Amino acid sequence: GAVVSQHPSWVICKSGTSVKIECRSLDFQATTMFWYRQFPKQSLMLMATSNEGSKATYEQGVEKDKFLINHASLTLSTLTVTSAHPEDSSFYICSAPRSSYNEQFFGPGTRLTVL
Amino acid sequence: AQTVTQSQPEMSVQEAETVTLSCTYDTSESDYYLFWYKQPPSRQMILVIRQEAYKQQNATENRFSVNFQKAAKSFSLKISDSQLGDAAMYFCAFDTGTASKLTFGTGTRLQVTL
């Protein structure tokens, strides 16, 4: 099956700093990728849709200026959490659809802890 | 907007027994896809089984099968011959198109006991 990677797998940062998370599709091209956030013992909530060559589409209630998304190429999307605060601490997961498989492939996730 | 409801926060099953996890959904779409994902402690999302709404036949993948009732908007997962490795969070999910954004249910934590 297709493989999606995320980097870093975990990160600890100080409040007020910015953190970048990368999502890569390793063996296929993805014009669209999705970013989810999962708080402890909760479900995955879609944050935004990352579109190669155009602006990301954000879900209601997600601050686009705080969660910057850049789909730099057909295999890479980045999520930057700007001016991170402790309430941004969460598990961030990306996914990339592969139409030939008619399914989405998930990255292993990134655990962000903001002190 | 679509909603997905999982009414069982936790379930327990003995090894080798059968368990059914419930999922209901609400949509005005006529064509869509339903999924069950497994999230083990590693938190890697793993696709368990998929059902296309236009197919009347229930999907089956080895020990995993679904009971898809389109009129009732119900999509339950049956795990047969449960194994210790089946212990995980299970999420029901809905997709309106070919690999578009997913709407997840709240999840069911499955425990497998000896």
Question: Nearest to residue B43, comparing CAs of A94, A87, A62?
Answer: A94
Distance from CA of B45 to the nearest CA of A (A): 6
Count contacts between A and B (CB, < 8 Å).
Answer: 49
Q: Which residue of A has its CA nearest to B106?
A: A43
Q: What is the DSSP string of A84-108?
A: --GGG-EEEEEEEEETTTTEEEE--
Distance, in Å, from the CA atom of B40 to the CA atom of B34, rounded to the nearest integer, reads 20
Q: Which two tokens stand for residue B43?
A: 């938190």
pLDDT-derived band of residue A1, with 50, 70 and 90 as boundaries?
low
Q: Which residues of B touch A91 (CB under 8 A)?
A: 43
Q: What is the pLDDT of residues A43-94, one digit of tens each?
A: 999 999 999 988 999 999 999 999 999 998 999 999 999 999 999 999 999 9
Smallest Cβ distance to A106: which of B44, B98, B105? B44
Between CA A31 and CA A2 the distance in angstroms is 15
- Rounded distance, CA B63 to CA A107, Å? 25
Are B17 and B113 in contact by the 8 Å Cβ rule? The answer is no
Q: How far is A37 from chain B (nearest CA, A)?
A: 12
SS3 B84: helix
CB proximity list for B37: less than 8 A, separation 6 or greater? B45, B46, B47, B48, B90, B91, B93, B104
Please give the Cα distance from A39 to A36 (Å, whole number).
Answer: 10
Which pLDDT tens digit goes with each residue over A10-45?
999 999 999 999 999 998 999 999 999 999 889 999
pLDDT band, very low/low/confident/very high, at B29 (cuts 50, 70, 90): confident
